[in-house]
Chains A and B, each alone.
Chain A
């Protein structure tokens, strides 16, 4: 089996454990996104992959080479792994061309080959025109491309990207997402991409690993993660989500306050276990309390009071107070409108609901 194999990877800093035994596989040529909130251990995983930290336990393999174990670490310069940093880390004392050619010069390649690969890489990231500029004369997006080109020029076995877009403004970020995916498709590099931005992960990745507090929550394709989240944390972290906490009644039923709701049960929890009913706001339909003949067939039915309503052009974002401290978000057609305080009935199609357990 080739690619990156991470086996029971643990990392502790003194009493604090950043990673609690992670197992991951990145087949050659795929782009894996490590996704999670800050402090989830994704950056630690990346530092371990790059060889800047030594694992407390576990192993990292690339193809058939052992890169890291608790007994030793192959130094970063010997790994054939390029790293693109969150703050770019473009050397301010070198021009664009000098930055990009640095790794090639280290490898003592013939001058002609350096020139050829430099040109090719600069073309790939569209920086040919800026080759003699210093970083201080470049925009954030251009600096990001320099960092990417510098990492690509050495033709690494593995490319690591550490929140590469988080310092860019929203517009540029969206553009660069596609650019990174495009470069990946062009070169087919095995890539690990760390991000806390779920839409970045969905756009760029072949596979996504969702992490929280040093535990891997789910590993799967973007569709898997979005449509079949393994637990309530993943469901809430990826996309907008309603999470109604309750206890399992068994057989695809959950008790939420005074109601028993039904949904496909993917929690694996026993009767009485802590579970949540998860449903995307876009699947929730709202009706006025006075309306009759509702299409309630195959739906969980709840009622509540509209707390606030925001018009967002393409839809309305309505927050409904269900009582007992529970709220429900619904994205409804903009033509529909409810004033705060009005009483509404909410329909939750059973097929769109899932009963999920808490995070690992």
Chain B
């Protein structure tokens, strides 16, 4: 190396030397071991049992491929598959067909009351679709539905019902309107984050508003539109509550309701059910793979620029008609069903019609205090959801940290396992947990732990992805600085990383708590009378026909959910790390939104 002048260190001593602290600390081994074990118990084991059961015979327990053969040979089992596909396609078409124009109106134009429309769409988002379906049963059941009654009073008693919610059309309508918020949120956030300069650049080159929209704006949000189509499709495919409420009574089976049926047979055909999960799993896995491919590197969210200041497309004379159209979705997904639920819940006996004497808060009193079953379910819902969300966020965050900082060899495998539940429909998750934990040595059937674990596993991908995205925003130098000052890995994580994640962690907690408390399908095979939650109680009570109680419970669940959503924003802001001193009184940066994009 020519001119370089260095004395070589004493190589005789160095040859056999090894740094003093090369061994792996015990705490590190314990943490990684615990994470690996939890991931195994929550994801690998239930999923493995589904696979294993699917190739065994229900009666003999022998190894067989007969379950799969049965699915493709029996028309009885093929019909639900086609129905599910129909429901999924139609749901996705409605979701994108309404969601995309709505997103454009709200994000890009001078539509009046844009914020209100946004909030109402968000309200539809947090409304469990099976509760929406309940509301619409009150509105559009062929005989007793209020809208049909109204129609008969106008068109004469001889006229047939105007609407029949107990039909494929009805189910598509409900799945569609409650899936619109997904496509709306994804596309509007893509539009919001798109750099205004990109459109300006086209304008300076002489492109008009319409031309710009067609050749710049639309292509830029196309990935978001396609991704939301896929997500909506999966939603339509995997929903359980809506078809159970609207299609089962008329004998139209879909995959999810058929799965429930296997469990109700005697003897239950649990292994066949496991095999029957596979087509559903295959389709969702394929679609998520496609979604990944589409979003891939060309992620639409990366086209961000300065915040757009006010400049919007003027709708002119179309402003108010557009507002009317934009109000249609909140009308059918929020106002009408909420009003129906509220009214029925406030009547002592629905059948006696609306009158002052019939109005009462009885059913709320009954649900909260008068009936031990509902009381237990409410307590369980809150308790299980809190525990599950906490477990989910803790595990998701630690896994995200291990993956993001590549702390062990094969860290990305941890991430892959934590992501797997995203392709597992809730009802399949339920099948898996039932299979894995209703046997020795881990018989958890009837314990709260089973539900908490199933909830946590189902929403682990959300917590993991959310944790990862927060961590991406925290430069590793901030942690390395602590390390170089003498803090170990654990100390650094607790005193630097966690405080910096701050409000983001809380918003992640709400992000999983809200879907957990409204989740029905995961719980459906796992509950026992003692571990009933609000959603399953509503689901089961509906069969009993006690609509006043069902409505009161539904309204309570909606109130709890909406209150949480309302509280999430301010709470998250409060706990967001204070980055200015009190003296100067500058405001801290606003926390990120609580709802998924």
Residues of A at the B interface (CB closer than 8 Å) are 1, 5, 7, 23-25, 50-52, 59, 61, 65-69, 71-79, 81-83, 85-87, 89, 91-93, 95, 102-103, 106-107, 132-137, 147, 150-151, 154, 160, 215-216, 218-220, 230-231, 268, 357, 360
Q: CB-nearest residue of chain A relative to B480?
A: A52
Q: What's the minimum C-beta distance from B64 to chain A, rounded to whole angstroms? A: 46
Q: A7-B9, A25-B6, A134-B578 are in contact. Are A66 and B19 (CB under 8 A)?
A: yes
State whether A75 touches B484 (Cβ < 8 A): no
Residue from the list A91, A134, A219 in contact with B581, Cβ < 8 A:
A134
CB < 8 Å: which of B5, B480, B488 contacts A219? B5
Complexed CA–CA distance, A86 and B477 (Å): 9
Residues B578 and A89 in contact, CB atoms below 8 Å apart: no
Question: Across the interface, do B480 and A137 meet the contact criterion of CB distance under 8 Å?
Answer: no
Residues B1 and A215 in contact, CB atoms below 8 Å apart: yes
Do A136 and B580 touch across chains, with their CB atoms under 8 A apart? Answer: yes
Task: Considering the complex, give the chain B residue whose CB is closest to the CB of A86.
Answer: B477
- B479-495 vs A, CB cutoff 8 Å, 1 = contact: the mask equals 01111111110010001
Q: Is B17 an interface residue (CB 8 A)?
A: yes
* In the bound complex, CA of A59 to CA of B1 (Å): 18
Within 8 A of A (CB), among B495-535: 495-496, 499-500, 502
Nearest CB on A from B518, distance (A): 33
Q: What chain B residues lie within 8 Å of A147 (beta carbons)?
A: 481
- Complex alpha-carbon distance, A154 and B1, angstroms: 37
Does B485 lie within 8 Å of A24, measured CB to CB?
no
Q: Are A93 and B19 in contact (CB under 8 A)?
A: no
* A150 CA to B483 CA, complexed, in Å: 12
Q: Is the CB of B488 within 8 A of A50?
A: no
Residue from B1, B9, B584 within 8 A of A137 (CB atoms): B584
Chain A residues positioned under 8 Å from B20 (CB to CB): 65-66, 74, 78
Beta-carbon contacts under 8 Å, B543-597 to A: 577-581, 583-584, 586
- What residue in chain A is nearest B488 (Cβ atoms)? A77
**Inter-chain contact A89/B478, CB cutoff 8 Å:** yes
Cβ of A52: which chain B residues have Cβ within 8 Å of it?
480, 483
**Neighbouring A residues of B5 by C-beta, 8 Å:** 219-220
Q: Are A106 and B491 in contact (CB under 8 A)?
A: yes
A–B complex contacts, Cβ < 8 Å, 16 sampled: A71-B19, A74-B20, A74-B21, A74-B22, A76-B484, A85-B480, A87-B477, A91-B481, A92-B577, A93-B577, A134-B581, A137-B581, A215-B1, A218-B3, A219-B4, A360-B2
Beta-carbon nearest neighbor of B502 in chain A: A93
Point out the residues of chain A lying under 8 angstroms from B586, CB to CB. 136-137
Question: Which residues of A lie under 8 Å from residue B482 when comparing CB positions?
Answer: 91, 102
Asked if B7 is at the interface (CB within 8 A of a chain A CB), the reply is: yes
Q: Is B311 an interface residue (CB 8 A)?
A: no
Q: Is the CB of A134 within 8 A of B579?
A: yes
Assess whether B3 is in contact with A230, with CB atoms less than 8 Å apart: yes
Indicate whether B18 reaches chain A with its CB closer than 8 angstroms: yes
List residues 1-32 of chain B with CB under 8 A from any CB of chain A: 1-9, 11, 14, 17-22
Report yes or no: B485 in contact with A134, Cβ–Cβ below 8 A. no
By a CB distance below 8 angstroms, the chain A residues around B495 are 102
Inter-chain CA distance A209–B22, complex, in Å, is: 30
Given A72-B19, A74-B21, residue A83 in contact with residue B9 (CB < 8 A)? no
Q: Are B475 and A87 in contact (CB under 8 A)?
A: yes
What residues of B have a CB within 8 angstroms of the CB of A151 in the complex?
A: 484-485
Are A93 and B500 interface neighbours, CB within 8 A?
yes
Restricting to B430-479, which residues have a CB under 8 Å from any CB of A?
A: 475, 477-478
Are A92 and B500 touching (Cβ within 8 A)? yes
Q: Measured between C-beta atoms, what is the minimum distance from B205 to chain A in Å?
A: 34
Q: Out of B19, B478, B485, B577, name the residue touching A82 (CB < 8 Å).
A: B485
For B11, list chain A residues within 8 Å (CB).
7
B residues 146-164 with Cβ under 8 Å of A?
A: none
B581 touches A230 (CB 8 A): no
- Complex contact B485–A154 (CB within 8 A): yes
In the complex, how many angstroms separate the beta carbon of B488 from the nearest chain A beta carbon?
5
CA distance A61 to B495 in the complex (A): 30
In the bound complex, CA of A218 to CA of B2 (Å): 9
Contact of A91 among B1, B17, B488, B496 (CB under 8 A): B496
Residues of A with C-beta under 8 A to B487: 77, 102-103, 106
**Alpha-carbon distance A42/B20, docked complex (angstroms):** 26
Nearest-Cβ distance from residue B400 to partner chain A, whole angstroms: 19
Contact across chains for A216 and B475 when beta carbons are under 8 A apart? no
**CB contact between B485 and one of A5, A72, A106 (< 8 Å): that residue:** A106
Q: Please state if A5 and B581 are interface contacts (CB–CB under 8 Å).
A: no
Q: Which of B7, B477, B487, B496 has the most CB of A within 10 A?
A: B477
Check if B486 sits within 8 Å of A106, measured CB to CB.
Answer: yes
Q: How far is the CB of A8 from chain B (nearest CB, A)?
A: 8
Contact B6 A103 (CB under 8 A): no
Whether the pair B4, A77 counts as a contact (CB closer than 8 A) is no
Q: What would 4 more interface pairs be, CB under 8 Å, given A69-B17, A102-B482, A136-B579?
A: A69-B18, A72-B22, A74-B20, A87-B477
Partner of B486, one of A85, A154, A268: A154
A150 to nearest B CB, angstroms?
7
